[in-house]
Amino acid sequence: MRSSIRFKLLMAFALDLFLIVSLGWFAAQQMARMNERASFVEQQTIPSLDRVARITTVINSYRVRQLEYLIYSNPADKERSKQKMGELEQAMAGYFADYQPLINTASEDTRFRTVASAWAALVATNYQRFIPAVALANTGSVQPFYSRMNPLYDQLELAMVQLSEENQSQATDALDDVRSAYGGARSFILADTIATILISGALGLILSGRIARRISRLTSATARVAAGELDRTVEVMSRDELGLLAQSFNQMVDSLREQRGALEQRNTELHTSLSRQEQLTADLLLRQQAEEAAHRAQAAAEAANQAKSMFLATMSHELRTPLNAILGYAQLMRMRRGAVSSEDLELDPLERILAAGRHLTALITNVLDFSKIEQGKIELTISAVAVAGLLREAVDVVAPLVQRHANELRVIYPPDLGVMQTDAGKLRQILINLLGNAAKFTDHGVITLHAWRDEATQPVAAICFEVSDTGIGIAPEHLGRLFQPFSQVDDSVTRRYEGTGLGLALSRQLSQTLGGDISVVSERNRGTTFTVRLPVAAPARPPTHSHNPVETLARPRADLGEKVFA
């Protein structure tokens, strides 16, 4: 076969397309035919039958009026019956006029004219013979006069029956045409569909079988060539694309056979030199690898040792400070116990001891939590949390630290802050860390805790917690180190402040564990603002991703009706 695969596929597609177009054309023709006959029934047959029924009703009513005219003896009643007969004659004229445009066959026209003639004869007899005869009769018997009208009514009824049968015949013919068109369309569609499926399947099987066999031969030959059998070739059976591919494959195999011979000769020449070079290269690589491993181990050991030393020194200082405070105030209270009565003792030392103990507990908790997060063992206890109550708990914990530096603490939140599904302990720890950090770096200033609900956050609603202060602030070049564990922003400035450099890193880890993150905006000597954005419903499992928290966020204003307390 000299035809290309593309041509064969196009011919198969064209055949299927022709069958589908034929199916659509025939279906459209049959649908048009059914629509035409249905329109005929709607516009011709149904109105015709309606007019026939109305004409029949007028005939029956006319006969009743004649009977009334016979029965009534009062001249006024007779005149009223005569007037009603005139109204029926006018109605009949209207029905005849309405029916005439609906006539579409000669036989129907003939039958309609028969009905009209019979009606005209009935009306003429009524006024020429029936009414005058009844008016002159004094016998009181109506039977002779009424019986004379029966032949005319029988003739009219026969004509009406024939006209009705004509309309029924037209409706039956239209229905038969619709059924015939539907049956023909269904048979043709079924036959065309079966033919399309059979032809398409046969063509697909034939073409796919031939193509698959030829591709299989090419694949088998390729595998043998890849295994090194360069004396194999593929038989060229056609001039289509696969035939050209087989011819090109054979040319490639011939070229590879020639190149392999040249390479084998060259390989023999280079074998001895290559063996010596491989030995030298192996020795050199082993030496370089050993040196690099030693350098990496030394650098890692030095870094680990330096980090350990800095961490131990910092932790020793931080743990020793609250412990010294606890011991000092405890000794002071013991010395004053004998000189002053219990009623005169101040409560401030006790509060300071409590604050120092809380500080020490928070440091140890931060270290343990950070260790759990690093090992992937952090666990969440998700429950419904009243946000306003949790804010008050966090403020109560950090209040002594805020007061120690003569700072003012403001808490702002709207009255409809509501409830969120999260880990209350982790959220409280985040807020305490941020408030404690603000209190440490602020002296005689203002610390603000602002919370609000952000319903516009997509794809889920969130609650934002903003901790801002008027403290020393952070320089822009130091923001990149802000959330690194065991690291302080500027050792030369912040060494005099308490802190391990672990609180902010832990807060960020906890925020991400709860499905949110922390961002920071700061200006040197103007203050710092941390914003925590958490979803209203925290994830059941801690996420593994993180985001860059150092970015500028628009700070919303407090809504009207917010509750503010210091």
The DSSP annotation for 480-535 comes to GGTT-TT--S-HHHHTTS---S-HHHHHHHHHHHTT-EEEEEEETTTEEEEEEEEE
Would the pLDDT of 68 be above 60?
A: yes
Q: What whole-number percentage of the chain has pLDDT above 70?
A: 75
The residue that leads in pLDDT, 450 or 214, is 450
What pLDDT is stored for residue 531 in this prediction? 95
Confidence (pLDDT) at 535 = 92
Residue 208 has pLDDT above 90, yes or no: no
User: Looking at residues 95-111, what average pLDDT do you find?
Assistant: 88
Strand residues in 55-214 grouped as ranges (E): none
Please report which helix (H) or strand (E) contains residue 560, including its range.
none
Per the CB < 8 A criterion, the answer to whether 562 and 412 are in contact is yes
Which residue would you say has higher pLDDT here, 269 or 492? 269
Tell me what the pLDDT averaged over the chain comes to. 78
CB within 8 Å of 477: residues ≥ 6 apart: none
On the question of pLDDT at 98 being above 60, the answer is: yes
- Please tell me the total number of residues recorded for the chain in this structure: 566
What band does 525 get if pLDDT is binned at 50, 70 and 90? confident
Q: What is the pLDDT of residue 565?
A: 40
Give mean pLDDT, residues 479-503: 61
Mean pLDDT throughout 535-540?
82
Neighbours of 448 (CB within 10 A): 20
- Residue scoring higher pLDDT (323 or 59): 59
User: How many angstroms from the chain centroid is the CA of residue 276?
Assistant: 66
Q: Kindly tell me the number of DSSP H helices and DSSP E strands found in the chain.
A: 13, 8
Kind of pairing between the strands at 408-413 and 446-454: parallel
Q: Return the pLDDT at 231.
A: 73
What is 167-178 written as a DSSP string?
HHHHHHHHHHHH
Provide the pairing of β-strand 419-422 with 408-413.
unpaired
Most confident of 134-148, 314-328, 389-403: 389-403
Question: Is pLDDT of 232 > 80?
Answer: no
549 in Cβ contact with 481 (< 8 Å): no
Q: What integer pLDDT is reported at residue 388 of this predicted model? A: 93
3-state secondary structure of 253: helix
Span of 30-44, 259-273, 361-375 with lowest mean pLDDT: 361-375
Is 410's pLDDT higher than 90? Answer: yes
CA atoms of 517 and 524, how far apart (whole Å)? 23
Span of 98-112, 300-314, 379-393 with lowest mean pLDDT: 300-314
pLDDT range class, residue 354, cuts 50, 70, 90: low
In sequence order, the β-bridge partners of residue 410 are 448
Q: Any residues with CB less than 8 A from the CB of 168 and at least 6 apart, and which?
A: 49
Q: Using 50, 70 and 90 to split pLDDT, how confident is the model at 385? A: very high
Using CA atoms, how far apart are residues 18 and 10, in angstroms rounded to an integer?
12
Task: Return the pLDDT at 367.
Answer: 67
- Would the pTM of this model clear 0.85, i.e. be above it? no
**Residues with Cβ < 8 Å from 535, sequence gap 6 or more?**
420, 457, 460, 461, 462, 514, 515, 516
Q: Which residue has the higher pLDDT, 551 or 122?
A: 122
- Res. 491: pLDDT tops 70: no
pLDDT tens sequence across 150-192: 888 888 888 888 888 888 888 888 788 777 878 877 887 888 7
